[in-house]
């Protein structure tokens, strides 16, 4: 059975360009050559020559100005009689060109055989979106714009589909996310955000390397999963006839490496959680996790806030970042300078929710949640005290944490992987040495003094297993291999995770996680 023709085969623009492609090949010009020498980017050319005295177009035509070679996508072409002005772009910027009726040649095109000047052939056969190579000489126009007088143009790729309309652009967000290649071509802001993401990750790696950490890689496909409360994606391994899971966290594997004797490690990798999609959640996302032997959550707190402060200084020259929420009339200035504000979960509830947790019994906490939130009543009625406190925090406090906050000392029910508090009074309350860091009301960092007591760890994982049997699909699975590893001896360890996508959202003033992921998850597109 033959595949159905794609919808664009019937578009007039596609058919016109296909006809031009056929005409180009008829005169033995290769519309898809293998190579072109382009030693500089557009930005490099602009930076090198913007302050120099280059002369005018006549000087460039005579060859007395600097000669350059550059490749890029044609995004504007404006015929003006004996000249045609154009713009090409690459990932670094855009640059003006001037084609001339006497001074411009086309690679492979012979005017004597084809009967028209190269400039007229360009205007007829070259379209916006085509990728071209340019060799020529630089000059400044009368308006002071750096321009290449094109001596030779080489067609590098004939584009068969047009760019979005230059006036309406690519306004539809779904189209921008789905067809990211178009977004990158026409939307300078989108390209800047995504390129900054790569630079941020590179700077994070350098920070860790400079502090003596080793980058490691662990398995994505796993026999068992753990390290977070989330529903996994499942797949099937044909060779072994068994079900496998895509990892939901990096934690368990990295702790095994600490047990194996590695001292300071980190991993930046994809994790997968089969859960909701919204402005801060994508089922596939990038997670940074790190573990350091002989550290605790206080060491981690200092390390992480200094990491993020250093990123702000490197990319913005200041710890104060201007945030302009989409659709909001006012801007917010957040200050990422260390140290960040620190308070316990109970203190934050007292300050921002005006509730004294210790003066309220479980029934009173449930009543507050049932009256003032949209949480499932059944979920609230069954929750132990620690989860009720965490839910109060989530519902009444989180959105107040616009400036950076570390929220410390969580109830043990919130995680089975963290050490009980060293303070006897806090330990008696079953609080753990955990902190979460919040910026703009969203969790950014999750950190522990890691649990290394194998007996307590077994007990907590057994309780998680009971929750799974009771129907909680997000509870931790029981992992005997992990428990065996801890029995081997794990040193005191500080560990943390940072959602890279959320961090990039903050540093690029993005309103949605989809703005900082090259290809966010989208529903399949159907054309009629």
Tens of pLDDT, residue by residue over 50-74, are 999 999 999 999 999 999 999 999 9
Q: Give 214-233 pLDDT, tens digit per residue.
A: 999 999 999 988 888 889 99
Q: Give 87-130 pLDDT, tens digit per residue.
A: 999 999 999 999 999 999 999 999 988 789 999 999 999 999 99
Tokens standing for residue 222: 């796993």
Partner residues linked to 293 by β-bridges? 493
| Residue of 227, 216, 218, 220 lying closest to 479 (CA atoms) | 227
Q: Please, how many CA atoms are within 13 Å of residue 522, restricted to the half-sphere of its CB?
A: 17
Helices 480-487 and 251-259 pack at an angle, to 10 degrees, of 30
Let me know how long the chain is: 528
Q: How many CB atoms lie within 10 A of CB 320?
A: 12
What SS3 state is found at 339?
coil
Q: How many CB atoms lie within 10 A of CB 475?
A: 20
pLDDT at 204: 98
What SS3 state is found at 309?
helix
pTM of the predicted protein model: 0.91
Predicted confidence band of residue 82 (pLDDT cuts 50, 70, 90): very high
Residues 406, 389: Cα–Cα separation, whole Å: 17
Tokens standing for residue 287: 């997670």
463 vs 35, residue with greater confidence? 35
pLDDT at 470: 78
Residues 433 and 414: beta-carbon distance below 8 Å:
no
Alpha-carbon distance values, 453 to 32, 220, 263, 423 (Å): 63, 27, 18, 17
> Helix/strand/coil (H, E, C) string of 129-180?
CCEEEEEEEEEECCCCCEEEEEEEEEEEECCCCCCCCCCCCCCCHHHHHHCH
pLDDT at 327: 62
Tokens standing for residue 44: 């490099």
Predicted confidence band of residue 464 (pLDDT cuts 50, 70, 90): confident
Q: Is the pLDDT of residue 5 over 90?
A: no
Residues 358, 3: Cα–Cα separation, whole Å: 67
In the chain, what are the domains?
10-163 (2.40.50.140), 186-353+397-516 (3.30.930.10)
- Provide CB contacts within 8 A for 84, sequence distance 6+: 77, 78, 98, 99, 119, 122, 123
- Provide CB contacts within 8 A for 165, sequence distance 6+: none
Q: Which of 167-176, 238-247, 353-362, 401-410 has the lowest mean pLDDT?
A: 167-176
| Residue of 438, 410, 421 lying closest to 341 (CA atoms) | 438
User: Of all helices (H) and strands (E), which one includes residue 432?
Assistant: strand 431-439
pLDDT at 114: 78
Residue 198 burial (CB < 10 Å; 0-12/13-18/19+)? Answer: exposed
CA torsion, ordered 234, 237, 240, 246, to nearest 10 deg: -50
Residues 483 and 457: beta-carbon distance below 8 Å:
yes
Phi, psi (5° rounding) for residue 435? -135, 150
Residues 344, 471: Cα–Cα separation, whole Å: 31
What 8-state DSSP symbol labels residue 31? Answer: S
Predicted confidence band of residue 440 (pLDDT cuts 50, 70, 90): very high
Residues 189, 515: Cα–Cα separation, whole Å: 10
Predicted confidence band of residue 1 (pLDDT cuts 50, 70, 90): very low
pLDDT at 354: 95
- Provide CB contacts within 8 A for 508, sequence distance 6+: 192, 193, 196, 197, 515, 516
Residues 412, 415: Cα–Cα separation, whole Å: 6
C-alpha angle 336/339/343, rounded to 5°?
Answer: 105
pLDDT at 167: 52
| Residue of 104, 97, 95 lying closest to 45 (CA atoms) | 95
- Provide CB contacts within 8 A for 399, sequence distance 6+: 441
Residue 30 burial (CB < 10 Å; 0-12/13-18/19+)? Answer: middle
Per the prediction, the chain carries an average pLDDT of: 93
Residues 406 and 435: beta-carbon distance below 8 Å:
yes
- Provide CB contacts within 8 A for 57, sequence distance 6+: 98, 139, 141, 147, 149
Q: Is the pLDDT of residue 265 over 60?
A: yes
What are the counts of helices (DSSP H) followed by strands (DSSP E) for the chain? 18, 19
Q: How far is CA 105 from the centre of its chain?
A: 43
């Amino acid at each position: 059975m033959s595949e159905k023709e794609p919808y664009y085969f019937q578009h007039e623009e596609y058919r016109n360009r296909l006809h031009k492609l056929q005409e180009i090949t008829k005169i033995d010009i290769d519309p898809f050559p293998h190579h072109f020498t382009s030693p500089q980017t557009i930005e490099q050319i602009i930076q090198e020559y913007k302050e120099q005295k280059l002369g005018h177009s006549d000087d460039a035509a005579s060859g007395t100005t600097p000669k350059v070679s550059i490749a890029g996508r044609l995004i504007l072409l404006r015929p003006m009689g004996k000249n045609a002005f154009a713009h090409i772009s690459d990932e670094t910027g855009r640059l003006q060109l001037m084609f001339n009726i006497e001074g411009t040649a086309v690679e492979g095109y012979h005017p004597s055989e084809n009967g028209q000047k190269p400039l007229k052939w360009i205007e007829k056969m070259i379209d916006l979106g085509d990728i071209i190579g340019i060799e020529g000489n630089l000059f400044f126009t009368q308006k002071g714009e750096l321009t290449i007088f094109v001596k030779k143009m080489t067609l590098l790729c004939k584009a068969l589909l047009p760019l979005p309309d230059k006036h309406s652009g690519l306004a539809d967000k779904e189209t921008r996310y789905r067809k990211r290649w178009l977004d990158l071509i026409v939307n300078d802001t989108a390209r800047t955000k995504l390129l900054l993401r790569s630079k941020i990750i590179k700077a994070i790696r350098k920070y860790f390397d400079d502090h003596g950490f080793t980058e490691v890689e662990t398995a994505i496909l796993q026999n068992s999963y753990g390290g977070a409360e989330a529903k996994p994606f499942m797949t099937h391994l044909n060779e072994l006839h068994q079900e496998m899971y895509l990892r939901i966290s990096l934690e368990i594997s990295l702790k095994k490496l600490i047990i194996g004797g590695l001292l300071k490690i980190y991993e930046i990798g994809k994790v997968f959680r089969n859960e909701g999609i919204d402005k801060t959640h994508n089922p596939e996302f990038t997670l940074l996790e790190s573990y350091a032997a002989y550290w605790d959550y206080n060491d981690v707190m200092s390390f992480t806030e200094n990491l993020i402060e250093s990123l702000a200084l490197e990319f913005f020259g200041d710890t104060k970042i201007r945030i302009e929420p989409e659709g909001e009339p006012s801007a917010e200035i957040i200050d990422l300078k260390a140290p960040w504000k620190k308070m316990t979960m109970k203190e934050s509830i007292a300050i921002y929710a005006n509730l004294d947790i210790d003066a309220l019994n479980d029934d009173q906490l449930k009543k507050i949640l049932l009256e003032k939130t949209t949480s499932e009543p059944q979920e609230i009625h069954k929750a132990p005290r620690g989860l009720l406190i965490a839910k109060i925090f989530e519902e009444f406090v989180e959105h107040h944490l616009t400036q950076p906050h570390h929220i410390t000392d969580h109830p043990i029910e919130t995680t089975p992987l963290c050490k009980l508090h060293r303070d006897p009074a806090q330990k008696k309350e079953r609080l753990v040495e955990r902190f979460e860091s919040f910026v703009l009301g969203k969790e950014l960092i999750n950190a522990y003094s890691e649990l290394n007591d194998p007996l307590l760890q077994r007990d907590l994982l057994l309780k998680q297993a009971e929750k799974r049997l009771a129907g909680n699909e997000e509870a931790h699975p029981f992992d005997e291999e992990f428990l065996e590893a801890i029995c081997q001896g794990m040193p005191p360890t500080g560990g943390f995770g940072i959602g890279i996508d959320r961090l990039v959202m903050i540093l690029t003033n993005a309103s949605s996680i989809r703005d900082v992921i090259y290809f966010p998850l989208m529903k399949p597109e159907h054309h009629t």
